[in-house]
């Protein structure tokens, strides 16, 4: 009995100490560091408009009205852009479901008044690996300029200037590709038109 209590006491003390370090102190230090150094990222990279949170820079949203730029398709289900259901569609190039998805998006682009005489950028008709991508390529944004300008009764060069303004280059100049955040661009369009 005495041998058991001699072994039990250090185990309990070790459990309490490690719980305090790994369960309380370490998370508290990392949270404080994140809030101090990476405040925007630690809080979800939220985007506000008129004092109200309207989304995140990191999660795409569904836009399907002709006066807005459209982002990549979402592969999450049962609802689009569901951050809890992140994941690609895993549909291969000969899968009929992928073919139907692409045809559906092409039909929607055409119905919205998009000029279909030029090749459609692939990121306008496919989903990303996460199914949540908030960004499109500059080519995908440029492809939609005429439709958006016409729907908003704006000069296409003004819309193109906004696209240029909201185009982000490669990260650190070498990583990834240039990209346009669809939500930020659409909010800028609304502000330009109503501001």
Check: CB of residue 146 under 8 Å from CB of residue 100. Answer: no
Burial class (CB in 10 A: 0-12, 13-18, 19+), 114: buried
Residue 88's pLDDT is what? 73
Check: CB of residue 58 under 8 Å from CB of residue 44. Answer: yes
CA distance 5 to 10: 9
- Phi, psi at 116, each rounded to 5°: -95, 15
- The full length of the chain comes to 195
Q: Among positive and negative, which fits the CA dihedral 94, 97, 103, 109?
A: negative
Chunked in runs of 10, what are the mean pLDDT values of the chain (195 residues)?
A: 77 91 92 87 82 86 91 82 77 84 87 86 86 90 94 93 92 87 94 78
Residue 111's pLDDT is what? 85
């Amino acid at each position: 009995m005495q041998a058991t209590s001699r072994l039990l006491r250090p185990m309990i003390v070790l459990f309490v100490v490690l719980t305090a370090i790994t369960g309380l102190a370490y998370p508290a230090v990392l949270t404080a560091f994140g809030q101090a150094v990476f405040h925007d990222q630690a809080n979800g990279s939220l985007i506000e408009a008129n004092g109200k949170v309207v989304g995140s820079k990191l999660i795409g949203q569904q836009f399907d009205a002709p006066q807005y730029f459209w982002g990549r398709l979402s592969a999450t289900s049962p609802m689009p852009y569901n951050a809890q259901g992140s994941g690609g569609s895993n549909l291969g190039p000969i899968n009929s479901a992928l073919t139907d998805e692409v045809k559906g998006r092409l039909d929607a682009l055409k119905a919205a008044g998009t000029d279909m005489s030029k090749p459609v950028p692939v990121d306008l008709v496919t989903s990303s690996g996460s199914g949540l991508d908030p960004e499109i390529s500059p080519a995908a944004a440029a492809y939609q300029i005429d439709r958006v300008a016409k729907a908003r009764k704006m000069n296409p060069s003004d819309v193109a200037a906004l696209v240029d303004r909201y185009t982000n280059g490669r990260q650190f100049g070498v990583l990834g590709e240039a990209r346009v955040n669809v939500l930020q661009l659409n909010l800028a369009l609304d502000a330009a038109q109503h501001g």
